[in-house]
Structure 1
């Protein structure tokens, strides 16, 4: 009897150790009439495995992701996140396969004046079907988001290419990859414009990308450009406001931008780097940051007055602040010059013009002596034709013989 009890206790100790390691014991009593011949059997079974050690995100990642070496070789391009399903979707805490009412979890503890007790309800055969439908419909109900290209029609917009070049990208596994880069600007000639950079294997693809991106990132500006200074990197641009009919006297990139936006009169000078991308960015920054005459007058709290040669330098007040400062309130070192104020105190670099090298030669002196007798001859001829209608002397009214008796060959050809 004592030996059997010792064997039973040893077996129980082993069971406890095995249960801690993940084995589940099973107690089976023998049918023998002798109670001392009871035996205990246990079946080894693991309760922990790969699927309940890791979270669901890591398990899905093991199915849908690709290794770094596979990504370099172009694998996993067709694998999408839409295949991932949330298995907890549609499930409620306290509700499972066994349809049981749990007071305080899936049902209230007190209902009216009665205390709710635990109760088992009949199983729902449609539960699994409904959960599978919810999991299959994941990712299908998405809000339709339209891009700016689909929202706007972009009617009246014109696109021009500023730079088209071939670029190369070198990689260790793919080698040298060739693409085309297009820098384009677009505008509607009414104050709207934008620029973008697009790349593609073909020129059409790169141009389409640049055009669409430029349409998405357009800005709005005033057509009457003010005098301003702008800078991006080592590129500096000085812009002067000009009257109507002056035209566009500036860099080709700035001229193209003005034509697409609708600016007609402007003079600009570029200093420093002439990188086309930097010039475009600097000019657009200047268009955004430029100040109106009202803002300038309000910032300085002074009247903005214009002196024009066409008005005989008569002062013309363009903008006035709400409260104007007096002469005593203006400090002596304050910048009152309009050009320097618009250029943030910077001065345009004016290079000294040196005379040509041939002015020091002896032959140039002889040339000037020969040209002295016909100096300003063409200007005098043009003035006579404009005033009298023909080349004649101021004494022709008194002496009719003072006329040009024979026209030069060039004038005869022009008249015929």
Structure 2
């Protein structure tokens, strides 16, 4: 059989039941809001704690109990505990690098962040060359949409370099996008004696044909201005070259990077043929530096 109470009796029953439930819950569960504000409303629980303190002070006499002892007694009776030492999750913080703030304030895109995938120590040694900046226009049915295009080459001068392209409504933003893309696309190119290429290269990209020749120490980079800037970023010091066909800077940059990727290191050739490699070039410039490859 079910009994339904109506009116004031039902409201009184609901209020009494809620009081009993809340009292039981406050007695059995600790107040997590003291050290975790997300768990519950902090202001509401603070008022409840203050009410407990006033009631306890009336029972024991406020003159006989100090504030600290009263708070400890209330916390013990109501099962309120302090947060444990390992309650909060501690995330590792990034160690501050030297001169990071100065680099971060730069407007040329040369500021370090984790998405560049290179250490900060190597980032500080990079050199940037902005080789192409031009205005482009997209023709649509509603009119012309102007924008700026930039092409940047970045290298560390020790054999690693990369190029990137950026496009934006402002030239500075386009350079920033191209710079960061160039840093992300950096790759290493082998260098003979850390100064020139291993062998002569003939490479063609679209309408651009590039010829590169290795030269003796002290020869210098006698190439076109665009190729010369790329050689400075990579760290190539002795090189001669010639461009046939299109001399568009964009095509020339892509041709140079493609040509340097086609180099074949003599050590790999000797290992593939099962022969022994002896570098006799150094006999003319002091000291023999042989490298042997056995079968």
Q: So what's the TM-score if we normalise by structure 2?
A: 0.52
Q: For the structure 1 residues 151 and 284, does the alpha-carbon distance in structure 2 shift closer, same or farther, using more than 3 Å as the test?
A: closer
> Which residue of 287, 292, 307 maps to 2:260?
287
Which of 153, 157, 174 aligns to 2:126? It is 157
3-state SS, counterpart of residue 130 of structure 2: strand
Q: Alignment length, in residue pairs?
A: 174
Which structure 2 residues correspond to residues 101-140 of structure 1 after superposition, within 5 A? none
Which digits, 9 at most, give the CA deviation of each residue in 1:367-412, with x for residues without a partner? xxxxxxxxxxxxxxxxxxxxxxxxxxxxxxxxxxxxxxxxxxxxxx
Matched, 1:210 2:210: no
Give, in angstroms, the shift of residue 204 of structure 1: 0.8
Report the CA distance shift for 1:270/1:170 in structure 2 as closer, same or farther (over 3 A).
same
Give the counterpart of 2:135 among 155, 166, 170: 166
For the residues of structure 2 that align with 1:195 and 1:286, how far apart are their CA atoms?
A: 14
TM-score w.r.t. structure 1 length? Answer: 0.38
Aligned partner (choices 162, 172, 178) of residue 194 of structure 1? 162
* CA positional deviation for 1:302: 6.0
Shift of 1:289: 2.4
Alignment of 1:209-358 (within 5 A): 209-224=177-192, 225-227=197-199, 228-299=201-272, 311=284, 322=294
Bigger Rg over Cα: 1
Aligned partner of 1:180 in structure 2 is: 148
Unaligned runs of 5+ in 2: 1-112
**In structure 2, distance between residues paired with 1:287 and 1:160:** 18
- In angstroms, what is the RMSD of aligned CA positions? 2.9
User: Given that residues 303 and 317 in structure 1 are in contact (C-alpha distance below 8 angstroms), is that contact kept between their aligned partners in structure 2?
Assistant: no
1:333 matched residue in structure 2 = none
Q: How many angstroms apart in 2 are the aligned matches of 1:285 and 1:198?
A: 20
Q: Deviations over 1:208-248 (max 9, x none)?
A: 01101101111112233112222212322222111221100
Offset of residue 285 of structure 1: 1.7
Query: Residue 191 of structure 2 contacts residue 198 of structure 2 at CA under 8 Å; is this kept in 1?
Result: no
Please state whether the residue corresponding to 2:226 is helix, strand or coil. helix
Separation (CA, whole Å) in 2 of partners of 1:184 and 1:177? 23
3-state SS of 1:181 partner: strand
Distance 2:118 2:220 in 1: 35
Give the distance between the partners of 1:165 and 1:305, measured in 2 at CA.
49
Larger RCO (CA within 8 A; separation ≥ 6): 2
Q: Which moved more, 1:295-304 or 1:201-210?
A: 295-304
Partners of 2:273 and 2:240 in 1: CA distance: 25
